[in-house]
Structure 1
Amino acid sequence: MPPFVSESAIPRQRPVTRDDETLVRAIYPVLMDVVRRKSSITYTNLVLAVRERCPEPEHPIYRQKPRHLGRRLETLRLFTAPRGYPDMTCVVVTGGTGLPPEAYDDPASEAAKVAAFEWPAVEEELALQCDDWRREAASIVPLEEAGAVAVMAKFCRDNPGVYEPGISAFRKEIIAELMAGANVVDIFAVLNRELRAAG
């Protein structure tokens, strides 16, 4: 693992949903524009920029809230981290601090490595990875709303007091992710990290 990235910045393997894969394809070119400018972008502006590129109302970016982009950025890191590529998601920052929420030892050093990396050389590789994710996502059986509610309720009963209290405010988002085929443990883990980072 590169010394300039903490272990928490490298995601564990998890199932990738169709929404994850679709959003990675849409987010990547926006991040590339930011990288070329050697700049940064807030979560809110990232969502708005992707919406400009993807006007189709059924695109998952229109169901995406800025503060819940963590899961989608983790999906992009599922591509970069195992290959030892720089973490391009470090250019996504919170509006309040101007820093990425992930625990980088040296965010400026990571951003410099991202800017120096030859991203066009790996774009075909990313496209192939997205194709693989799409095929894998096709095998995920989505839940109906009632089933998603039941899974969420059982998980909360089985894990009292484990997660940040504010997580209950995201009931609709959790249900939507479950209906899309996401794993309940992953959903709660990502939301919990985001709440702690915002905390």
Structure 2
Amino acid sequence: MTKETGDKYGNVTLTDVKLASVYYPILIGLAKHKHCLTYGELIAKAKEEHPDIPEVQNAVPVGTGRRLEVVRYFTEQHGYPDLTSLVISKSTGECGEWVLERYNPIKLREEVFSFDWSKATLDFDGFLLHTTKQIADKAKPKPKKPEARSRETNV
């Protein structure tokens, strides 16, 4: 994981992870066929394929970048090329600003298109469970220090 990915990954929500798990197989399909989609088209495809998942049905293009960041983290962990380079802006025809500032999207797409995706795992579930647990653990309130508790009871 790069420092940039790690920094952004620290604020991941359960919704981000759920949406990433839906986007990942769509992106593999795109890679196999050497295609790109806009953010809106990705969301529309996800909604069409998963009408029963509320998070998918409520998804909007704004914020999709942070969901793709979870996909990027997953692909980095597995040594895969960056599938998120296949998602482009409708207005610019290129990846989002965050990606453009850090990577060469043309080079990323070349790597994606030349990779043998038939060998890639479609199992996002283990990652989903692990990440969900990390997010839940992070959200738990930290226990008060013993000295703070004793002061509270002595007041």
The question of a shared fold, defined as TM-score above 0.5 by the shorter chain, is answered with: yes
RMSD: 2.6
Answer yes or no: is 1:34 the counterpart of 2:55.
no
| Equivalent position SS for 1:67 | coil
Unpaired runs of 5+ in structure 1? 2-6, 143-199
Tell me if structure 1 keeps the 8 A contact 2:36–2:88. Answer: yes
Answer yes or no: is 1:80 the counterpart of 2:78.
no
Answer yes or no: is 1:22 the counterpart of 2:18.
yes
> Aligned-pair distance for 1:85?
2.3
User: Which of the residues 122, 127, 130 maps onto 1:129?
Assistant: 127
**Residue 50 of structure 1: aligned partner:** 46
TM-score (norm 1): 0.59
- 1:18-39 Cα deviation digits (max 9, x unpaired): 2122111111121122112211
Tell me if structure 2 keeps the 8 A contact 1:17–1:133. Answer: no
Measure, in 2, the Cα distance between the counterparts of 1:55 and 1:17: 21
Measure, in 2, the Cα distance between the counterparts of 1:48 and 1:14: 27
> Aligned-pair distance for 1:42?
0.2
> Aligned-pair distance for 1:134?
2.3
- 1:91-123 Cα deviation digits (max 9, x unpaired): 000001111111265322211211222334331
**Residue 5 of structure 2: aligned partner:** 11
Q: Would the alpha carbon gap of residues 86 and 19 (structure 1) be closer, same or farther in structure 2, given more than 3 Å must change?
A: same
| Aligned structure 1 segments of 4 or more residues deviating by more than 4 angstroms | none
- 1:104-159 Cα deviation digits (max 9, x unpaired): 653222112112223343315643212211232343549xxxxxxxxxxxxxxxxx
**Residue 118 of structure 1: aligned partner:** 116
Equivalences for residues 71-110 of structure 1 within 5 A: 71-101=66-96, 102-103=99-100, 105-110=103-108
> Aligned-pair distance for 1:15?
4.6
Unpaired runs of 5+ in structure 2? 141-155
Aligned residues: 135
Q: Would the alpha carbon gap of residues 94 and 75 (structure 1) be closer, same or farther in structure 2, given more than 3 Å must change?
A: same
> Aligned-pair distance for 1:84?
3.8
Paired letter, 1:87? D
Measure, in 2, the Cα distance between the counterparts of 1:91 and 1:124: 17
Tell me if structure 1 keeps the 8 A contact 2:38–2:90. Answer: yes
